[in-house]
Amino acid sequence: MSLQLFGNDGLIPHGSCLLWFSPLFWTHATADALIALAYYSIGAALLVIALKRRELLFRGTSLLFAAFILACATCHVFDVWTLWHPDYGSQAVVKIVTAVISVATAAIMWPLLPHVVALPSIGQLEATNGALNAEIAERRQAQAALALYAKELEASNLRLEGTLQNLDMARRQLVQSEKMASLGRLVAGIAHEINTPIGNGVTISTSLTEVVRRFRAALQNGVLMRSVLDGFTEDVDEAARLLTSNLANAAELVQSFKQVAADQASSQRRQFDLRETVEEVIATLRPRYKHTAHKIEIRIRPGILMDSYPGPLGQVVTNLVTNSLVHAFADGDLGHITLTARQREDGRIDILYRDDGSGIPPELRNQVFEPFFTTRQGQGGTGLGLHVVYNIVTNVLGGHISLAPQPDAGTAFALELPATAPTLPRANGQS
Ligand SMILES: Nc1ncnc2c1ncn2[C@@H]1O[C@H](COP(=O)(O)OP(=O)(O)OP(=O)(O)O)[C@@H](O)[C@H]1O
Ligand SMILES: [Mg+2]
């Protein structure tokens, strides 16, 4: 069988079929040779592409296609060969192989067709590419804008931080200058107040020096008459009296300035009954109002115990009562003062001091605790009474004081004190 298939005994070459007719023979030979060459070239090219471009779509199909074309090329080679040599068995084998590859290629071509048709065209791809490029450019632009914005934000953040620091510094400076201003006011007030008695003292001592000079002259002239001696004694006496009273005034002022400092170290701390202490303080004040018709009522139940500073607390009550006697009531008035206290559940003590006098005008209400604020300038008022009260209540007793609303006539102060004063009283503050 194999001999019959691959042997060519008895077979005639294909050229014989063409009767070796030269034009026909060579046309077949040339055309088949050219087709074979072209097919080999196309197949080889396809093979190279499929092997080099591994990411290529339908690469398997491309390889099969290359094999199919190369097989076809071989078929045409055999067509040329069999013109001279009748090797039809070998040609048949090549044709069978070509047929198998062709059928396989054809079989996978059809299912592949929809996918190939659906592939975007180059135009579409270009359009998509263009859109993508535009989007990329847009994103780059947005990114650049974002980076710029971030930089600006960073810069404005830095500026804000700087502004904040400046503001904080300005605030500190303001607080500092406010402190300095109130210190300045205090010093100016002290200087102003103390200037009067000291100035008086200087004037008196100057005139006293003059009196002494005149007396000495009269003595040296030997004309010391009784009347001159009497006059001299009177002058010296008067000067001494004035000096004493002015110096006493100055001393009193210095004393009250010392109170402004609310010297806590000298304050004695102890346990006491609030009612008892208030009663004692009012008793010491009795000489100041016993000639008037005013009444002071203490509405404090016994048994409210405090561990605090009775001295400074007494000073507070004294100043409030003195103020009522001086500012609230006119001569002949029948003034009424009440002192009420109650202990809250949390132990703190509420004290309400009230008089039914002339009251404090609304526009002055937020100035009364300021140092040197007085409506009795030149009439014995220094304006330190309520400032001292404020400092004692807040810095020594550890509480609060404020002007309470007083719907009827008069003035009211509300105090809120801890039953146990703080062990380390806070430093002095300004009202
Ligand atoms: N009970 C009161 N009724 C009416 N006005 C008052 C009363 N208490 C205080 N004032 C007003 O508040 C001002 C300030 O009082 P503060 O005790 O500080 O000073 P002062 O009494 O004038 O002087 P100082 O107490 O130093 O002698 C007073 O001048 C007065 O106008
Ligand atoms: Mg006063």
Looking at every residue in the chain, the average pLDDT score rounds to 88
Tokens representing 87 are 């090797």
> Which residue, judged by its Cα, is nearest atom 6 of ligand 1?
327
CA 211 to chain centre: 73
Cα–Cα distance between 50 and 63 in angstroms, integer? 6
Ligand nearest to the CA of 259: 1
CA 344 to chain centre: 38
- What is the tens place of the pLDDT at every residue in 290-307? 899 999 999 999 999 999
**What's the 358 CA to ligand 1 centre distance in angstroms?**
12
Region 395-423 average pLDDT: 92
- E strand segments, 66-210: none
Tokens representing 136 are 């990329």
Evaluate whether 369 touches 390 at the Cβ level (below 8 Å).
Answer: yes
pLDDT band of residue 51 (cuts 50, 70, 90) is confident
Evaluate whether 345 touches 311 at the Cβ level (below 8 Å).
Answer: no
**What's the 360 CA to ligand 2 centre distance in angstroms?**
13
Cα–Cα distance between 363 and 376 in angstroms, integer? 16
Task: Say yes or no to pLDDT of 190 above 80.
Answer: no
Task: Say yes or no to pLDDT of 308 above 80.
Answer: yes
Cα–Cα distance between 209 and 384 in angstroms, integer? 35
Ligand nearest to the CA of 431: 1
**DSSP per-residue codes, 175-186:** HHHHHHHHHHHH
pLDDT of residue 109: 87
Region 168-184 average pLDDT: 70
**What's the 420 CA to ligand 2 centre distance in angstroms?**
27
Ligand nearest to the CA of 380: 1
pLDDT of residue 257: 64
pLDDT band of residue 54 (cuts 50, 70, 90) is confident
Task: Say yes or no to pLDDT of 224 above 80.
Answer: no
**What's the 322 CA to ligand 2 centre distance in angstroms?**
6
- What is the tens place of the pLDDT at every residue in 347-406? 999 999 999 999 999 999 989 998 889 999 878 788 888 998 998 899 889 999 999 987
Task: Say yes or no to pLDDT of 326 above 90.
Answer: yes
Atom of ligand 1 nearest to the CA of 328: 3
Task: Say yes or no to pLDDT of 427 above 60.
Answer: no
Beta-strand pair 349-355/270-273: unpaired
Query: Which residues lie below 8 Å from residue 360, measured CB to CB, with a gap of 6+?
Result: 368, 403, 411
Region 185-206 average pLDDT: 81
Ligand nearest to the CA of 373: 1
**Which one-letter amino acid corresponds to residue 69?**
I
Of 63-67, 181-185, 426-430, where does the model show the most confidence?
63-67
Percent of the chain past pLDDT 70, that is, above it, reads 90
> Which residue, judged by its Cα, is nearest atom 12 of ligand 1?
368
Percent of the chain past pLDDT 90, that is, above it, reads 59
pLDDT band of residue 175 (cuts 50, 70, 90) is low
Cα–Cα distance between 429 and 425 in angstroms, integer? 11
Evaluate whether 15 touches 25 at the Cβ level (below 8 Å).
Answer: yes
* 260/287: higher pLDDT: 287
Nearest to 274 by CA among 317, 313, 314, 305: 305
Nearest to 277 by CA among 310, 318, 316: 310
pLDDT of residue 311: 86
Q: Identify the DSSP state of 420.
A: B
Region 218-225 average pLDDT: 82
- E strand segments, 171-284: 270-273
Nearest to 389 by CA among 373, 378, 377: 373
**What's the 323 CA to ligand 2 centre distance in angstroms?**
5
pLDDT of residue 267: 63
Ligand 1 pocket at CB < 6 A? 323-324, 326-328, 355, 357-358, 360, 368, 373-376, 381-387, 411
* Listed residues: CB within 5 A of ion ligand 2: 323, 385
Evaluate whether 263 touches 243 at the Cβ level (below 8 Å).
Answer: no
> Which residue, judged by its Cα, is nearest atom 1 of ligand 1?
324
* Terminal-residue alpha carbon distance, the chain: 132
**What's the 385 CA to ligand 1 centre distance in angstroms?**
7
Task: Say yes or no to pLDDT of 59 above 90.
Answer: no
**What's the 381 CA to ligand 1 centre distance in angstroms?**
8
pLDDT of residue 170: 85
Atom of ligand 1 nearest to the CA of 256: 26
Task: Say yes or no to pLDDT of 425 above 50.
Answer: no
**DSSP per-residue codes, 208-226:** HHHHHHHHHHHHHHT---H
Task: Say yes or no to pLDDT of 409 above 90.
Answer: no
The DSSP element (H or E) to which 339 belongs, if any, is strand 336-343
Nearest to 395 by CA among 425, 431, 354: 425
Atom of ligand 1 nearest to the CA of 375: 29
Task: Say yes or no to pLDDT of 252 above 70.
Answer: yes
Half-sphere exposure of 91 (CA within 13 A, CB side): 17
Instruction: Compute the C-alpha angle 61/63/65, nearest 5°.
Output: 70
Region 34-46 average pLDDT: 95
